[in-house]
Structure 1
Amino acid sequence: MKYYSQSHCKWAMFLIVLSLPRVDSANQFSPAGRRIRRQINACQDGNYTVNGKTCCLCAAGQLLTKECEVNPEDRDCEFCEPGRTYNNKPNSETFCEQCTSCTQPNGSDVCLSSSPSCPVWRIAQPRFHSLGKSELGDGGFPHLLSNLEVKEECTTAKDTACRCKQGYFCLSEPCISCNPCNKCEELGVKNSCTGTKDTVCKERSEVPAAILPVAIIFGIVLAAAVGFAFAFAAWKMKWCCFKTSNVGFEGTDGKYVESSSLALLEDAYLDKDGNFSKLIPDIASLVGWGDMRNIAMADGFKKTILDNIQQNNPKQAEEQTISLLTEWEEKHGREAARMLMKALLKNNKNSKAQALQGIIRSDRSNKPASATP
């Protein structure tokens, strides 16, 4: 039998060690490896730049409460209030949008006060027809959602989804106001009413001959009523052949703001208002911080002014809006209301422009008549 010396064994062990795979000092288990992995996975919802620093966006359903300081991901976020506010995409906003209510009343019951007793739905989210016109109620106020019920509840990351109640329909979604379904009392139902389609009545040929004359008369009366209602609505909203000449200025989306909307700027109340500061709380509740901030930036306000307002009123969107409207009045003086109206129209916020007109008119109408000598 052949024996090996101790020196031979040492050389054999040395060769075995050299043949083992090397372990990189920055592998996935080392601190350096973990830092690399965190950097790769940081900002999964995207990022934004502020004051020369890149910070991670807050996720959908959250709002920003503190900017990042050292690392992009060390900013602070909080969730929106469930069932009341939401943000539907990653963002760096310091506020959440109000949830839409499907059950709020119509017309003159709109709450425009800044009082704490004012319900959540005091300012409705703008909703527009397919023709691009906002639906209006009595007195120039926004016509709020009617004949609707909740389809999907509001979450912190998604607004409420509404649908028509049983027995009502609208032709396109999202619905702002649902119409009663036709009952086809004389002709009979061929296809039932759905949430997005009216009842289809039977053809006259399918109706017994005995009731055909009655059905014809009823149809004529109904058609006349519908035609009158449509003509009145078209005149009221200045649609179709009743539309005024296409005179206006270009909005932010490239579409013209026509003279039907520009007529708001000729309102005599805007020429005489002089009480803009008194109405600032109501106007702040109407316009909201997001729209008012965009309007101010487009008007040339410096970013430092907007940043100071946010820092002085943290997490208080309405107080921030009130402060910015005060700055707006200082800049535009007695033209503050007119300039705000023009900015709302130019940004296609027709519904809010109509509501602003209503606030100013309401203030004028509530003033006592001056005493005659």
Structure 2
Amino acid sequence: MASHRALRYAVSVIICCVVLLLVPLSHGSVVPSSPPSNTEDKVQPFTAHQIANVIPTGKQVCTDGTYQHEAKTCCQCAAGQFLVQHCKKSPEDVSCDYCESGKTYNSVPNSINSCHPCTSCLQPNANMQVDKPCTIARDTVCRCKDEHYCDGDGNACLFCLPCDKCGTQGVQTPCTATSNTVCGNSAWLIALIVLVLVAISVVSFGIMWWKKWLCFRPDTPNDGAPGAVGRSESPEIQLLGAGELTPHLQEMADLIGWKDMKAVALKSNFQPAEIESYGLDHSNDSKEMALHLLMDWVQRMGSAAPEELIQKLKDVNRKGKAEQVAAKVRR
């Protein structure tokens, strides 16, 4: 390796000496032995470009690489430029021009005759904005707007999506430019809702049975109950007490029916709006409506309920049903 360097150095020195010897001749020196001539022979000096091509420097002429065109090797245009004309005599005499700043770019050395258009971050509904503007040697770099993310590689992202809102669940991992929000664990919230619903159901069931127990517990004689004045139980016919009607209420409600039970309630001073509310409470199921209206009616009538029920059915011209009820409430 050292011998090659020494040889190159010696050649360079010899060439420089030859150039120095030839330079004086170019300024009018004449060789004595030569005959005069009408045309003076002149020797042109070496240019710096010629010397640089002769003397090895260890550097390449094309810093951005080369390409082939019509069996010639030409230098590539640098990044940020495009080719205007191919080389003709030497690799470096290609003609290049710059891309239009802010509109076009070429990011690598090239031999193409145009520049790429800059990417726009302002496409409709893309939810993106400019992160780094376009230059002649680099395309625009876009990023998602605030509260938006792109599910994938940000450089290849075409549009961004809105980040999820967690509400009462709480945020476990915040939303970033490349990932959606991760909400907290909602299992505890679901469990709480289930517990509340179960508690409400238990309380409602307990209240319902408590009301039934109050309604059908054994009653003490109540001379002031509605319908008791001016009436006395026949000694020949003993009727069941109000508290003993419980096992028979469903059967009696089915016998009487919703329409006639409604008429009995109206005769007993129940308000029309109050009666209609049973339809809302029991999804217009006539059997359930008749049963619950009968239960509340018995509770209001107290110990006189069996006798009152028979009488009210007669009052609304339902003598046949009155007799059937009477047969069921006899001891």
- The TM-score range, normalised by the shorter chain, is 0.3 to 0.5
Higher Rg? 2
| TM-score, normalisation: structure 1 | 0.37
The two structures have a TM-score, normalised by structure 2, of 0.42
Instruction: State the structure with bigger RCO (CA 8 A, min sep 6), 1 or 2.
Output: 1
